[in-house]
Amino acid sequence: MTHVKRGLDLGLRWLCIGLFAVLVLVVVWQVFTRQVLSAPSTWSEELAKYIFIWLGLFGAALVFGERGHIAVDAVARRLPERAQRWNAVLGQVVIGVFAAAVLVYGGWQVSELAWNQSMPGLPLKVGWLYLALPLSGFLVLFYTVYHLVAVVRGVENATTDGEPEAI
C-alpha cells in the first residue's frame, strides 16, 4: 500500500504542477489579449477558473495525503498516547465519511446533473468540471484508509503532520 501511495503522491504532484503551469499560461494569455491586443480572449477566463478549481481539489487531496493540512491539535497532543490514537482514528473516520458522502457521492450526482450542460466559452460540458469532486474524493478516501491503517498499526504517530515542529 505504501508503494501505491508513493506513486499516487508522485502522480498528483506532477498533475498539480502541470495544472499550475497551464493556469499560468492561460492567465498570461488572458492578460496579454486584454491589455496589449485590446481584444479579450473569450475562452481564457473560463478555462482559468476551471483549472483553478481542479488544481485546488487535487492539491487539497495531495496535501491531505501528506498530512500537511491544517490541524488544531493543541489539546490532542496533551492527551495520553492511547487517547491520541483514538482521536486520530475518529478524525480519519469522520473525514472518510465526509469524502464518501459529499465528494464522491454528491460530486458524482452533481456531475451527472450537469453532464449535458454546455460551457459558454469552451467546447466542453459542465459535467467535466464537476468530475473533479468525485475524483478528488476517491483520492481523499484512499489517503484516509492509508493513514487510518498506519495509525492503528502504530506506523504513524497519531499527531504526525507534514510540517516541522518549529522553525
User: What is the pTM assigned to this prediction?
Assistant: 0.81
Mean pLDDT within 129-142: 93
What confidence score (pLDDT) does residue 98 get? 93
**Alpha carbon distance 112, 143 (integer Å):** 25
Question: Among 9-13, 73-77, 147-151, where is mean pLDDT lowest?
Answer: 73-77
What confidence score (pLDDT) does residue 160 get? 63
pLDDT digits 0-9 by tens, 38-76: 888 888 888 898 999 999 999 999 998 888 777 677 677
* In the chain, domain spans: 2-153
**Alpha carbon distance 53, 38 (integer Å):** 27
What confidence score (pLDDT) does residue 165 get? 47
